[in-house]
Structure 1
Amino acid sequence: MTKTDVICENLPTKLCSFAVASSGKRCVLENYKNAQGKTDYTCKTSEVVVEKLSGYIETNQCMNACGVHREFIGISSEAFLSSEFTARLCSSACYQNCPNIVDLFFNLAVGEGISLPALCQNQKENHRAILEILSNGGATPDPVAAPAPSSF
């Protein structure tokens, strides 16, 4: 966790996403067309306030553990549709150690009517079920065969 005097507009774009300004507001990476008509990026201060994390720039360790990237532009609830992303977000390495990222996705989930703790619990239960199947050699019980129709 890196705490310092953070002003979103002064951050290099490579540090913008998943940073929180000293004011307590989230930094967001935005794109725009520059004078040459090419896409360029800038870091802006959002109106979203984060409790207890002011002046915070997310660590590379958390970025990797949670499966997020610094070049994220606009974060969408569609991320929850990816089981790979959800597995990384719900992993102990992320969920227990990266409060900034978890807070962001927790609030995003709430906005979509999703409970992140319930989603993570479901992810863990599904993972355990898959491990159980794999530990049994991948075999699943045979379905009960229906008797063949008799032809008289």
Structure 2
Amino acid sequence: MAPSLNILSVMAIALAICVQGTLGEIACEHLDQDTCAYAISSAGKRCVLEKRVKRTGEEAYTCRTSEIEADRLRNWIETDQCIKACGLDRKSLGISTDSLLESSFAQQLCSPQCYDSCPNVVDLYFNLAAAEGVFLPKLCEAQEGSARRGLMADIKSSGFVAPGQLHPVKYTVAPAPIKPVKYTVAPAPVEPLKYTVAPAPVEPVKYTVAPAMSPY
């Protein structure tokens, strides 16, 4: 998740305004090359550093007031801590969005050390990004995601990734396909044959006449 300005940042703005106010009114044209870049005049205009070459070939730096207005900030000279934390250069000329295209700069700009502690720098690049149709918090969110992916890629390529615990793999045998069952009509049971004895033929009865008996 992209870092956001918190209460400490608001307090830092208020404190910086009070401190800068004690230093008097700031006019960009009165600043030297070491304090011009990222400064804000008492009128709320941003100062820009310009370089020109004299006829003698000598380089000369001048500070002038731009038409770019800062948001709620006045009489501001950026601190060395924020210059370093945000990856800035006090010798930067003009104001440009080119640095936003550099991944290393975007990474420093979106870091908590810069984004949460340097409201002047964040305000400047928030407006510069918006002019290009880019929402700075979204840019920082994408930058954070890229940084994480890059870190994981570096860790994996370095060979320092501890192998995870190996778990035994259980294989299950897939059931065989069910084949259609063919039903056949079973033959009727063979009943045992019962044999009966045929009756013997009836023989005719022969009668014999008994001899007559004498009465005497």
TM-score normalised per structure 1? 0.83
* SS of equivalent to 1:19: coil
Tell me what 1:20 maps to.
40
For the aligned residue pairs, the C-alpha RMSD in angstroms reads 1.9
Q: How does 1:1-152 map to 2 (within 5 A)?
A: 1=16, 3=20, 4=23, 5-136=25-156, 138=158
Shift of 1:19: 0.4
Structure 1 letter corresponding to 2:58: K
* SS of equivalent to 2:140: helix
User: Aligned pair count?
Assistant: 140
Tell me what 2:197 maps to.
none
> C-alpha separation between the residues in 2 aligned to 1:93 and 1:43?
28
> C-alpha separation between the residues in 2 aligned to 1:134 and 1:72?
32
Going by fraction, where is helix more abundant, 1 or 2? 1
Shift of 1:76: 2.2
Structure 1 letter corresponding to 2:131: G
Larger Rg: 2
TM-score normalised per structure 2? 0.60
Going by fraction, where is strand more abundant, 1 or 2? 1
Unaligned 5+ segments in structure 2 are: 1-15, 160-216
Residues 48, 95 of structure 2: 8 Å contact kept: no
Structure 2 letter corresponding to 1:59: T
